[in-house]
Amino acid sequence: MTRLFNDPADFADEMVEGFVAANQHWVRKVHGGVVRATVTPRGRVALVVGGGSGHYPAFAGLVGQGLASGAAMGNLFASPSAQQVIAVAKAAETGGGVLLSYGNYAGDVLNFDAAARALEESGIAVRTVRVTDDVASASPAERHKRRGIAGDLCVFKVAGAAADLGHGLDEVTEIASRANDRTRSFGVAFSGCSLPGADEPLFTVPEGRMAVGMGIHGERGIDEIDVPSAAGLAELLVTRLLDELPSGVTVEGAHVVPILNGLGSVKYEELFVVYGAVQRLLTEAGAVIVEPEVGELVTSFDMAGVSLTLFWPDAELEELWAAPADAPAYRKGSAAPAERLSPEALSADETVSVSPGSEESRALSPRVAEAIGAIREVIDTHVDELGRIDAVAGDGDHGIGMRRGSHAAEAAARDAAERGAGAGSVLAIAGYAWSDKAGGTSGAIWGAALGALGRVIGDESRPSAATVAEGVHAATEAVLAFGATVGDKTMVDALVPFDTVLTERVRAGDDLVTAWSAASAAAQAAADGTAALLPRMGRARTHAEHAVGTPDAGAVSFSLITAAVLRKLSVSA
């Protein structure tokens, strides 16, 4: 159970502040994360890694010479926003292009891909390598769907070493991809992790039992068995990973880097006992051990568990793995002293400029801001329940992310309205703030939805019911562009019926309040109906059977929001 925190909503921000204060020799804070505090020669490739907080030393602890150039840091277990990734990449980039590398999770893919597009549009060359080492999360035939867990370290280490040696962007990318192809991981947990302020862990395991194949965000395991001895656990992990070797690898005589990773609460002494058996089993199988690692390398907050990674390097990868590195949480060899940068203050609170709207549109802006405030209020009321629903088969961060996003959106909306923005700009600015502060899948989705709605509403006139319906449809299309469809057990299952009914009722001649009321009822019914569905998208996909009987958190929060906005519309009508 997490004991030391102030306001749980501020935990990630306060953690970053403290981390930077303690590690100023290596890193400096920028909007969205951290970058190296030392000089990088012009023209070097910038390796930018990242993901949700709660996995230290990944990701910020791996920023330094011979490793990452910067780390984008999201909220606890939530991906960084596209804006955060862009800011970190631009701060780290020195003319050689950017390699983005991160674990293969839906929210990270959405936000890093959006950042990559924006960076390329600004003239920066970008490549991406997603880490897919977790053998429990998908079959070998669907390796591209696998999660990234402790194998992140293997990919980041060799890519960072190659970048610091002066290799070009395409070459560094190929090296990172090859390392990912030659890395496999598998983990177990004896108890789940607890987020700050939560009363219960994200999942529980009966006494004397352990979850097998769980994820690093509190995702449940794919199986549950009795806790074995240390030697028995080593045999389980090694056997599972030797059952699936990378293409072209034969165990006899092959060099292997074993990484026994503690997930947060397992003591180093216990890890060493297990590792002794791991090395013996690998040696008996004919493998040659190369520079192993034992310790906390990619954690899951306070989870009691361990994972084993086997990295099978070729000669070049082995040399890069052994190259010097100097980062706050990972040091190897003797890295040459690097010149320290003079401090650069990069504001995390840049004011978004606004274009004045028409008098008619400006008059509506405070009401739009009040509607965003109503969204914030309903999320605050249901934040714990949304987290509980999300934890059934996911990572339990939906309530926290929605709260962070809605609070940021309300503040940005009220500020924009006070500065004379039209209604459409207030919505777009609120969406930008939501995405930036919340991160994760929900942050990206709500940012895109509010932005699309704002573009249709515009700043020129008071929107009609038909214009609002058109804007909602544009928001729906923006969300659907992320890939989910009706039946996947996502927010889309409530959004599409809402959009359909709203459009139909407005076209039939209903006023906005009447049409919105019918659409909100349809969203509520659809959200309730998701309880019977199997998830086909995101982290919950791996543990689909656990989700049956529980509605989707994204669909539930959407239905709550439509009802909150309806109450505001009814009062204003």
Residue 439 lies in a domain: yes
**Residues 439, 302 share a domain:** no
The rounded Cα 416 to chain-centroid distance in angstroms is 28
Domain boundary among 289, 317, 332: 332
What is residue 438's predicted lDDT score, i.e. its pLDDT?
Answer: 86
Residue 162 lies in a domain: yes
pLDDT, tens only, 105-121: 988 999 999 999 999 99
What is residue 441's predicted lDDT score, i.e. its pLDDT?
Answer: 85
**Residues 375, 322 share a domain:** no
Supply the CATH number for residue 511's domain.
Answer: 1.25.40.340
What is residue 130's predicted lDDT score, i.e. its pLDDT?
Answer: 98
Q: State both tokens at 363.
A: 């008059």
**Residues 385, 300 share a domain:** no
**Residues 394, 305 share a domain:** no
Number of domains forming the structure of the chain: 2
Counting as low any pLDDT under 50, the low residues of the chain are 344-350
Enzyme catalytic residues: 217
Containing structural domain, residue 101: 8-332
**Residues 380, 299 share a domain:** no
* DSSP state letters, 38-84: B---TTPPEEEEEEEESSTTTTGGGBSBTSBSEEEEEEETSPPPHHH
What is residue 1's predicted lDDT score, i.e. its pLDDT?
Answer: 64
Contact yes or no for 385/400 (Cβ under 8 A): no
The torsion angles phi and psi of 482, rounded to 5 degrees, stand at: -80, -10
What is residue 350's predicted lDDT score, i.e. its pLDDT?
Answer: 45
Q: State both tokens at 114.
A: 């959006």
**Residues 466, 408 share a domain:** yes
**Residues 374, 311 share a domain:** no
Residue 25 lies in a domain: yes
What is residue 394's predicted lDDT score, i.e. its pLDDT?
Answer: 67
pLDDT, tens only, 244-284: 999 999 999 999 999 999 999 999 999 999 999 999 999 99
d(CA 312, CA 290): 9
Residue 343 lies in a domain: no
**Residues 320, 393 share a domain:** no
What is residue 347's predicted lDDT score, i.e. its pLDDT?
Answer: 39
Q: Say if strands 293-295 and 209-212 run parallel, antiparallel, or are unpaired.
A: unpaired
Contact yes or no for 224/212 (Cβ under 8 A): yes
**Residues 268, 307 share a domain:** yes
d(CA 17, CA 83): 19
**Residues 204, 262 share a domain:** yes
What is residue 539's predicted lDDT score, i.e. its pLDDT?
Answer: 53
**Residues 477, 372 share a domain:** yes
